[in-house]
Homo-oligomer: A and B are copies of this chain.
Amino acid sequence: MKKILQIVEAVDFCYTIFMKKEISTESYKGVRDFYPEDMFVQNFIFSVWKSVAESFGYSQYDASVLEPAELYRAKSGEEIVGGQTYTFTDRGEREVTLRPEMTPTVARMVAGREHDLQFPLRWFSIPNLFRYEKPQRGRLREHWQLNVDIFGVESLDAEVEVISLASQIMKKFGASESDFVIKINSRKILNDLFAHFNLTDEQAQKVSKLIDKKEKIPAETFQASLEEVIGDKTAELISLLSDPTKLLNTLDRESQSVFDLTMLMEKLSRAGLQNVTFSPTLMRGFDYYTGIVFEVFDTHPENNRSVFGGGRYDDLLDIFGKRKIPAFGFGAGDVTARDFLETHNLLPTYRASADIFICTLKPELTADALALAEGLRALGVNTAVNLSAKKLGDQIKSSDKQKIPFTLVLGDDEIVSGLYPLKNLETGEEKKVKLEEILEIVKKI
């Protein structure tokens, strides 16, 4: 059977080469091509991420998408290296994984130079990540993700700063505080809650998983599943989960977990964030969170979902045999960011990188057009030149279709006079201008 497959493959290969079998223009399944219009949006998202992270003094780092597979075994559990990652063996018998998340990588890098780095350490990155799964809305096989982390701060100041940064990203996207809500929870509060109910470790773990699923399953299923695990404690637990204030009152008000949560809410409010709520059912997927977790939620009825989130993970560097370094951070994906922008009508309008398109009245003027373009570029004006044999009308049409905001028609007269007819394609306005005047006009829009 294998032999036959090999023959079939070989025949197919020869056919491709010799019979010019056409190769598909489709991308690989579950990943995206970014044509300029898509790249424009992507660059907009990345530039907001980058500028906000840098405004808080975070430094950018990066690494390869290829990582040793062992990196994902230790903490995230078998699931990660199992069915959901791209893992293969290279010819040197090394197991390689296309990174499914950035946190293990950043932990590796911090652990690798912990003695040279200045703590508290503020870092961000915009990596692409891979998961081997069925493509569906918001869950492609490849996506990009802003990762923001602060290392070396044990106090709640880390939470305040990073959650403020997260909120600032939403505002820089153009969102108002009513467009999103920041949900906050604490692993420690949940532990106290489970202790209050005298749950065993096994029960606590099962209940955690059920709470994580709560929003995705019917209320009756949730209740029935809980009853299977904790029997007659179910009703009280559900009642507490749905009433955060009652939950806090039920727990020991003096406990560290309640104190921290209350303090954090107060600090965030003082820092000007008015859309923060305590949400005891917020779990977040990964096992490595150790304290506060948070999630930015879209409040729009048509996109009522998590935009991104993160939390505290103080133990992750242990796997490299290093001292404990407290850490707090989040990851924000490009697909959910784009969905948010679309839903709230905040997507930027595409325009070409060129400010001006120089049309030529006849082919002999191309060299002059190239020289004029050089002069404009030296002034800081991005300039494209007609290199086609198209008629003037078609040159202008093409420039318009490319979304280049201005055209300039070059003929013999213009070369002699040094006065150029600059036309704004959107308004139709046209004006004869000198070379030096052009920058100011094009930079206005």
A interface residues with partner B (beta carbon < 8 Å): 13, 16-17, 20, 22-29, 31-36, 39-40, 42-43, 53-68, 70-71, 73-74, 86, 88, 90-92, 94, 96, 108-109, 111-113, 118-120, 122-123, 128, 130, 132, 141-142, 150, 152-153, 155, 157-158, 160-161, 164, 168, 267, 270-272, 318-321, 352-354, 357, 366-367, 370-371, 373-374, 377, 381-385, 387-388, 398, 401-402, 404
Contact = CB atoms under 8 A, between A and B. Distances in A.
Contacts of A68: 24, 26, 28
A64 B142 contact: yes
Contact of A398 (B118, B366, B383): B118
B374 A23 contact: no
Contacts of A141: 66
Contacts of A64: 27-28, 31-33, 128, 142
23 contacts: A22-B321, A25-B109, A28-B94, A32-B63, A33-B61, A33-B64, A34-B62, A36-B60, A36-B123, A39-B61, A39-B62, A43-B60, A58-B353, A59-B353, A64-B128, A66-B141, A91-B132, A118-B398, A152-B388, A153-B388, A157-B366, A271-B367, A272-B374
Nearest to A114: B25
B59 A270 contact: no
Given A318-B20, A321-B20, A377 B56 contact: yes
A108 B61 CA distance: 31
A113 B35 contact: yes
Contacts of A23: 70-71, 74, 108, 319-320
B60 A353 contact: yes
Q: In the assembly, how many copies of this chain are there?
A: 2
A59 B402 CA distance: 10
A171 to B, nearest CB: 11
Contacts of A40: 60
A320 B385 CA distance: 29
A122 B70 CA distance: 43
Contacts of A96: 28
Which 5 pairs of residues, A with B, have the shortest CB-CB distance?
A: A57-B384, A57-B354, A25-B112, A31-B64, A22-B321
A55 B383 contact: yes
A56 B383 contact: yes
Looking at A63, A92, A108, A130, the one whose CB has the most chain B CB atoms below 10 A away is A63
Contacts of A22: 319-321
A55 B352 CA distance: 11
Given A61-B36, A157-B366, A27 B67 contact: yes
A109 B270 CA distance: 50
A66 B104 CA distance: 22
Nearest to A67: B28
Contacts of A371: 271
Contacts of A58: 353
Contacts of A401: 118
B60 A160 contact: no
Nearest to A31: B64
A29 B95 CA distance: 11
Nearest to A60: B39
A25 B61 contact: no
Contact of A59 (B39, B54, B56, B377): B39
A278 B43 CA distance: 39
B57 A108 contact: no
Contacts of A62: 33-34, 39, 42
B32 A388 contact: no
Contacts of A59: 36, 39, 352-353, 402
A313 to B, nearest CB: 16
